[in-house]
Structure 1
Amino acid sequence: MKQLIAGNNAVMLFVLVCIWVTAAGCQQKKNADRRGGIAISFDDHFINEWYNLRPLFQKYNAKVTFFITCPDSLSAGEITRLRQLEKDGHEIGFHGTIHGRSTQLIEAEGPMGYHETEIKPGMGYMSAAGFKPTSYAHPGGNHNAQVDSVLFANGFNIIRDVAISKRKLLGFQMYALAPRLMPWIFYDYDKQNAVDALLIDTDSGLTIQEMKEAMQKANATGTCLMLFGHEPLYKAPENGAYGFSVRFLEAILKEAQKENLDFYTMSELVEK
């Protein structure tokens, strides 16, 4: 009986979400001052794996953002590779010192304790390595207004959250939205500094057709589609690995080129 109730609630929520996103999507009009764009970012500490994608980025003249976590463990080789990626035109952002659950940290330690644990040490390591991040990605997409206020007070000009197109709860499909019906993953160049990017990892279940439709929408509306992933994978994930298919990424880059989309780093969105 409880499962039936949960299922009915899931269906109702799905219907309400669909109605809302459809209405919101209809309100998005063409930005006459901008071409469509795409902003892709990558999270965590897969630096060597990201570096190996340089030829792919160069092939499509793409620039992206790398959000680094646990910078205390950066090796000399990783720093060299990050500097080269930055020289290539990519952005080096920050993803936390310990990759902690921000709301729990700030509840337990207060704003100052959160800053001293998650922000200050890691930014010190980044600075020592020669990087000055101005963009931040929430670990696990976990945050609240108090967390955001600490980040903005520390000089970040844009902070990125997580958007997922499909979500299950207790085995029930809560929603399964086509990316083109998710207006919050399209940047309107309106100086908004708290944004959402769509997860493209393999467990997202996204298809290249859905990506094509989303990029066509970005082109048609003069907005910027925001996407993100983790580790580059060349086969199905094994042993708890999480990340995106390199083949899927190349299909996205190829379609972005076809749609003549401009590539943006995260900080560039608010600087334009």
Structure 2
Amino acid sequence: MKYIETFSTALNRFLWLLMAVVSGALASCGSPSGKPGAGGIAISFDDHFIKEWYELRPVFQKYNAKATFFITCPDSLNAEEVSMLKQLEKEGHEIGFHGTVHAKSTELMAAGGPEGYIKAELEPGLRHMHAAGFRPTSYAHPGGNHDDRVDSVLLAKNFTILRDVAISRRKFKGFQLYAWPPRWMNAIYYAFDRQQKVDALMIDYDEVTEEEIAEAIQEVKENGTALMVFGHEPLYSAPSNGKYGFNVSFLAAVLREAHSRKLKFYTMSELPKVK
């Protein structure tokens, strides 16, 4: 009985905390107001799936869409991958930076301070990107890990926008703790207020439905904001063997919906420049 009572107490405390968080979210639900006529979508992709991203060019071209590709481990870029990225850039897409070693930034900062963080995670990768002909101005936090100290260093290194991670569903040991409709998640809508620290909704497999995305796209159409979303590896079936990524048919549905509503496609670095 003692175990049951202890577990019950812990569960009740957790549920109370969860309800408090949900209540706070509901109190500010609905996307913010942006600029009339500026409604759009900013799509980005993380890591090093360059060939797989390149193979998506026909679907981007079909809907006249552009995206931002955040590259990690640029020291491993080969000549073919550099050529692919340059072609993507030529077609209006953006090449951003996702770190040298994809480490937890706060841990690097704690271990070596700003100088150690810069030497480990920023400078080596940026040297490789510059040598390949890329000058990234947008940065995606590896694993969504960062704090104000990390952000201040990145902004001082002339990155104009820093992208974090937003998740609409959270599970714990196989149980779903919550599922928030994206239309309630203020942080994933860019209000064209020159904000440099932003969140994007993850659209990897089973994270969000086509109906939810359609509702979010309707929000940006009505409110003049930009919906920010991102994924990892393009997949053509359910993920297996530890893979994580988005379904290509889902991406096509997102692009089709945005195109049908005559939304603008933004790269990440374009967002803070819109006046």
Q: Normalised by the shorter chain, which TM-score bucket?
A: over 0.9
Alignment partner, residue 145 of structure 2 = 142
* Paired residues for 1:71-220 under 5 Å: 71-170=74-173, 172-204=175-207, 206-220=208-222
Where structure 1 has 5 or more consecutive residues not aligned to the other structure, the ranges are: none
Shift of 1:36: 1.2
Alignment partner, residue 16 of structure 1 = 20
Deviation per CA, 1:38-77, whole angstroms, max 9, x where unpaired?
0000000000000000000000110000000000000000
Give the share of equivalent positions with the same residue, in percent: 58
Mapped partners of 2:167, 2:258: distance in 1: 20
Deviation per CA, 1:214-270, whole angstroms, max 9, x where unpaired?
111111111100000000000111111110000010011111112221100000001
Mapped partners of 2:141, 2:229: distance in 1: 14
The 4+ residue runs of structure 1 with deviation greater than 4 A are none
Alignment partner, residue 265 of structure 2 = 263
Query: Secondary structure at 1:238's aligned position in 2?
Result: coil
Give 1:17's aligned amino acid.
V
Query: Secondary structure at 2:246's aligned position in 1?
Result: strand
Alignment partner, residue 11 of structure 2 = 7
Which of 247, 253, 256 is equivalent to 2:255? 253
Mapped partners of 1:198, 1:113: distance in 2: 30
Mapped partners of 1:6, 1:259: distance in 2: 47
Give 2:257's aligned amino acid.
E
Query: Secondary structure at 2:194's aligned position in 1?
Result: coil
Which of 25, 37, 40 is equivalent to 2:40? 37
Mapped partners of 1:167, 1:146: distance in 2: 27
Q: CA RMSD in A?
A: 1.5
Query: Secondary structure at 1:28's aligned position in 2?
Result: coil
Shift of 1:173: 3.6
Moved more, 257-266 or 119-128: 257-266
Shift of 1:32: 4.6
Give 2:270's aligned amino acid.
E
How many residues end up aligned between the 2 structures? Answer: 270
Give 1:8's aligned amino acid.
N
Give 2:18's aligned amino acid.
F
Alignment partner, residue 239 of structure 1 = 241
Give 1:130's aligned amino acid.
G
Residue pair 2:162, 2:197 contacting (<8 A) in 1 also:
yes
Mapped partners of 1:5, 1:170: distance in 2: 19
How does the TM-score come out when normalised to structure 1? 0.95
Residue pair 1:10, 1:173 contacting (<8 A) in 2 also:
no
Mapped partners of 1:36, 1:7: distance in 2: 42
Query: Secondary structure at 1:202's aligned position in 2?
Result: coil
Which of 44, 51, 56 is equivalent to 1:53? 56
Residue pair 1:97, 1:118 contacting (<8 A) in 2 also:
yes
Where structure 2 has 5 or more consecutive residues not aligned to the other structure, the ranges are: none
